[in-house]
Structures are given as C-alpha cells and as structure tokens.
C-alpha cells in the first residue's frame, strides 16, 4: 500500500470516528432515556430531570463515595450554578466568569479550558454565574456575561465560531444554557433590571448564523433571516400599546434569562419571561404582555403560538422565567411551572389553557388565589406597592410587606419530575420583603428598578423547603425544611431517589416517596447547581457542581446576613458506589 493511499484511509477513518461522536438531533431527542450520556440541560429537553438508572437506589445509595473531584481553580470562584454535560468520555462544565472546562470522565483530569475574555463594563444582575452549555455536532456552545455565544470544538477547546448577541453596555448578558430543538440553537437573554428587551433567538448551531428572533415584549418586531443574513420582518409581538400604554414598552424587560424547554410531541419550545421594567408598576398600567409569562414558540418560525401570563402588571419582580416542564397526566400533555410568585401552574402544553393552580409555599400576600376560569390572579389591592408621586415627599410610595420576596418562592434552581411517583420535587423558599416604589427614568446601562426593598425570613426555624408536589391534587406530599434558602436544582431517578444540594454544602439523596434522608456528602462549599447521573462502563455515577454564590448573598437583605458564614468555592464532585 502506497503512502498516499494510506493517508487517505487514515483520513477517512478519522472522519468516520468524528462523525460517530457527533451529537445529532436524534441523540438529543433520546437523551432522557439514554443512560450513557447527559446531552442537554434538564437531562432532556423537556426538563424533567429524571433518570431511568436504578443501580444507585434506595437500598444502595448509602454506599455512595467520591470517585473524583475537579477544582475550577483561580480566584474566580463566586456562584457556581452549572449543570454538567456528559458525552464521549468527557464532562463539559461551565464556571463563573464565563469559563468552560472539558474533563476526562475516567480520572477527573482537565482536558482543556476556555476562559472568555470579559470587558470591564459587564453588568450581571445576580452574580457572575453560568448555568451550562449545549452540545451539537462536534461543538459545545455556551453564552457569556458580555452577551456573546461561543462554540468550541469538543476535542480541542478551540473556538469554531463566536457571535455577539447584544450590547453588554446596555445591560444585556447571558447566563442560561442554550437549547437545541429541531436542529436549531435557541437562546434567551439576561438583563431585566437594566431596561433591556427580552427575546428568543434561533441560530444554526454549526455556524451561529441567525434564523429568527422573537421579542417577548409586546410591540417589538420579530425577524427571520435569509441565507445571506438579511433580516426580513416576521410580525410584531402582540399589539402595540394594547397592554403597554405609553412608551415604556420600548425598554420593557421580560428577559428570557433562564432559557427554555422543548417538547417533541407538541413541537413547541417554552420560554419563561422575566419582570417588566421598571419594577414600579404605576408607571406602566396594563397587563404588560409578554412579561412574567410562559410563551410557547413554533421552533421553525419563531411565532408565539400561545402565552400564559402568571403575574399581570407585575409589581414585585416575581418574573415568570421559571422552567416549564412537560409531562403526561390523564392521557394529555401538560406543563408544570413553579412560579416565583408562589403558585404552581398546570397548563395544557398544546394550547396554553390553565388546568390547575395552587400555592406551593405557605405565605402568599399579593393574591388570594388564581381564578381557574379566567387564569388571572385574584389580587390583594392593598399589597401593591404605593405610587411614589402620592407619598408625603413625592419620592417614596407607601411600603408594603409582600410574600414571597422578589427572589421568589422558587428562583433559578430547576425542579424535577418523576413519572414513577407522578410528583414534582420543588426547591422552595419561605421569605418576604418590605417593598416600596420610587421615581425612576430609563438611562442606557443603568439600573432600572424604581423600587426599594429589604428581604427577611418569615419563619424562625427554616427558609428553604424541598417539597414533593402532586400536580393533580395540589397537595404537598412531603417536605424537608432547610435552615438556609435552597438555591440548587433537583434530580429524580428510577432508583426511587431525589438528589438535591444545600447552601450548607451538602449533596443529599432522599426517598422519592416519603422524603426520608438516605445519604449526604459535604462538598466544602454551598451547592447551588443541579446534579446529573449517567452510566459509564457498567457503573452509575452522580455529579454536582459546588460553589456558594448567586443572588442570595448579593440581594438577600437580612437573609444574606443570616447565611454570611457560608464559604465560596468552585469544583465539581463525582460519586459512585463502593465495590463489595
């Protein structure tokens, strides 16, 4: 065989190997059922965070021990909210300050690191966090704090493409994990406290080229893009000035900062939208669509197929950005959403009609209930912060005590659903706030709140509570109280387990049926990230990122003081069962 032919054959073999390792749409559609990998945020695009693995179960979990740990290193610790991805013998995990690592699954050795060069003027609202990446083809793709998307070669960490999403100087940033649906890369934006305009974008994941954009504030134009990158109008979101009188819709907020989920059976992507801007609701009468809502998007066109508003004319920064998790119940496809406003919603995933809504926390003051016929909250008028122009000095409105606090009955920490128990596992927080309105005007890149606040605990013995919630009856089946706020995500497994972390540093495993604690491990810093599990060489592993931070120590008021003893960190821990 001559050298030229040998070279061709070697090249063909390498290409075949690379293609075999590529992440495809078919693999992503099956990832929730494939125990050998974790290819997307949510352990599946539906966001159920449920694993079919059973090797680690209620009887064996007590034998779980560390397999290896990896430090993110440096002084850039802060909050670590990332969910690892597992593929082709590698773990891909993002860290604070827009970093990403590839780690060898066998021994925890670093394969490569990419550290994004951030400008001095970034304005992250709620810590310098990143929640994860997306995999497609031979690429790993993540967003950065200066509102860029970066696609890297999975094997080398070399940049394949990089695209600017928006102007960080105007308050835009990116913190959520991208979503792959129907071969498109779907992303949201962060920055709701700076008067940005929320939107969802679809791109070609292999090139970064825009396919469509859909604003999530009524009155803004959506666009689709041809192969040359030319923008073509794709319809205004909603009807201009219908629910946003005046001009404030132009800087209306509604950031899509938690990213989205996708359900193959409905063909829809679901994105939660954040608070309207500013917080001072007296300046923007009306419902302020599509803020504090769930929007269901046609993945191919970017059209809004339906929208459900959780908190019309939001005055408390309750957002609505929480994940919409689809599941089967009574032969139909529904979505469950534990909203920051304290109510759990069950909504038809196909048409957006409300099926059920009930509290999942013990104290809610802004509304008495949700009207199941109209879908609207029954507001408590006296609990809306006062108009600052009618205050004694015209600079501060009347103060009200509101529960939940603006950090929410549930914030960024994703819940889990188990088709085995038919329960949702929700990391909830019981806290309230004194809140008042102040005069405000928009300035590019400036904080756009128009409110003041102080967060404080409601109960003496706990703030956080892990709760098992029945979406059919609205009952809390069991709960586990926690002294500090819960800020990390949840995972359920077919082994009858629920895994979750605490700010005190523990990763815990409890019985999914009754909440009995079966195992815990001290990671050395607070856990504010969601765990994952996978099967490698016949062995089941569990992993979680550890590193205290996020919004609580920055915005938590009296609560922040209560947990000031917690130490920061930055590492990922991997566990397996002890042999014998």
φ, ψ for residue 26, nearest 5 deg: -65, -40
pTM of the model: 0.95
317 is an active site residue: yes
- Residue range 510-566, pLDDT digits in tens: 999 999 999 999 999 999 999 999 999 999 999 999 999 998 988 878 888 888 888
Kindly tell me if the per-residue pLDDT of 501 is higher than 70.
Answer: yes
Alpha-carbon gap, residue 214 to 384, rounded angstroms = 31
Cα–Cα distance list, 580 to 63, 344, 577 (Å) = 10, 43, 9
Place of tokens 């002890």: 578
Residues 6+ positions from 565 with CB-CB distance below 8 Å: none
Alpha-carbon gap, residue 40 to 179, rounded angstroms = 7
- Residue range 448-470, pLDDT digits in tens: 999 999 999 999 999 999 999 99
Kindly tell me if the per-residue pLDDT of 6 is higher than 70.
Answer: no
Residue tagged active-site, from 146, 317, 319, 339: 317
User: Pick the residue with more confidence: 76 or 546?
Assistant: 546
Q: How many helices (H) and strands (E) does the chain have?
A: 4, 40
Kindly tell me if the per-residue pLDDT of 75 is higher than 80.
Answer: no
The pLDDT score that the predictor gives to residue 78 is 86
Indicate the CATH number for domain 39-577. 2.140.10.10
Return the closest-CA partner of residue 178 out of 95, 259, 298.
Answer: 259
Grade residue 19 by pLDDT with cuts at 50, 70 and 90: low
Alpha-carbon gap, residue 284 to 287, rounded angstroms = 9
The pLDDT score that the predictor gives to residue 1 is 44
Are 354 and 371 in contact by the 8 Å Cβ rule? The answer is no
Are 188 and 215 in contact by the 8 Å Cβ rule? The answer is no
């Amino acid at each position: 065989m001559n050298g030229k032919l040998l070279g061709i054959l070697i090249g063909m073999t390498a290409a075949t190997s690379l293609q075999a390792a590529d992440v495809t749409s078919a693999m992503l559609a099956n990832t929730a059922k494939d125990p050998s990998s974790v290819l997307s945020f949510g352990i599946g695009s539906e966001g159920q965070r449920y694993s079919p693995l059973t090797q680690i179960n209620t009887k064996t979990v007590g034998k779980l021990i560390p397999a290896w740990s990896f430090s993110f290193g440096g002084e850039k610790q802060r909050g670590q909210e990332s969910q690892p991805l597992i593929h082709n013998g590698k773990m891909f995990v993002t860290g604070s300050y827009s970093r990403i690592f590839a780690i060898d699954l066998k021994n925890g050795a670093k394969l490569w690191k990419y550290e994004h060069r951030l400008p001095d003027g970034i304005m992250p609202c709620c810590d310098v966090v990143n929640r994860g990446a997306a995999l497609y083809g031979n690429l790993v793709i993540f967003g950065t704090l200066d509102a860029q998307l970066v696609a890297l070669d999975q094997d080398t960490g070399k940049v394949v493409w990089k695209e600017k999403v928006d102007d960080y100087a105007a308050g835009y940033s990116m913190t959520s994990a991208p979503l792959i649906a129907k071969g498109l890369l779907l992303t949201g934006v962060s920055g709701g406290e700076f008067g940005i305009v929320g939107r969802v974008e679809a791109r070609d994941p292999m090139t970064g080229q825009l396919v469509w954009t859909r604003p999530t504030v009524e009155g803004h134009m959506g666009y689709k893009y041809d192969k040359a990158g030319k923008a073509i109008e794709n319809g205004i979101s909603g009807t201009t000035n219908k629910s946003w009188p005046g001009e404030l819709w132009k800087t209306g907020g509604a950031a899509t900062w938690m990213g989205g989920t996708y359900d193959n059976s409905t063909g829809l992507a679901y994105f939660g939208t954040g608070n309207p801007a500013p917080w001072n609701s007296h300046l923007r009468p009306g419902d302020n669509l599509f803020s504090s809502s769930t929007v269901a998007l046609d993945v191919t066109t970017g059209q809004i197929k339906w929208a459900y508003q959780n908190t019309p004319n939001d005055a408390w920064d309750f957002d609505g950005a929480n994940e919409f998790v689809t599941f089967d119940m009574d032969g139909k496809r529904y979505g469950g959403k534990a909203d920051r406003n304290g109510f759990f919603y069950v909504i038809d995933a196909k048409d957006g009609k409300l099926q059920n809504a009930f509290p999942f926390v013990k104290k809610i003051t802004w509304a008495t209930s949700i009207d199941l016929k109209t879908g609207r909250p029954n507001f408590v008028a006296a609990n809306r912060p006062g108009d600052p122009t009618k205050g004694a000095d015209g600079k501060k409105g009347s103060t009200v005590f509101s529960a939940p606090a603006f950090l929410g009955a549930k914030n960024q920490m994703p819940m889990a659903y188990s088709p085995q128990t038919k329960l949702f596992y929700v990391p909830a927080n019981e806290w309230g706030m004194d809140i008042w309105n102040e005069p405000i005007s928009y300035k590019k890149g400036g904080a756009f709140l128009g409110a003041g606040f102080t967060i404080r605990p409601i109960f003496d013995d706990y703030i956080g509570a892990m709760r098992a919630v029945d979406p059919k009856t609205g009952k809390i089946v069991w709960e586990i109280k926690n002294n500090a706020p819960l800020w990390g995500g949840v995972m359920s497994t077919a082994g009858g387990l629920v895994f979750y972390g605490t700010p005190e540093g523990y990763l815990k495993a409890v019985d999914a049926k009754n909440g009995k604690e079966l195992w815990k491990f001290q990671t050395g810093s607070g856990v504010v990230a969601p765990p994952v599990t996978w099967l490698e060489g016949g062995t089941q592993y569990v992993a979680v990122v550890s590193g205290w931070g996020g919004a609580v120590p920055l915005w938590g008021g009296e609560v922040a003081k209560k947990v000031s003893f917690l130490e920061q960190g930055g590492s990922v821990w991997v566990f397996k069962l002890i042999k014998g």
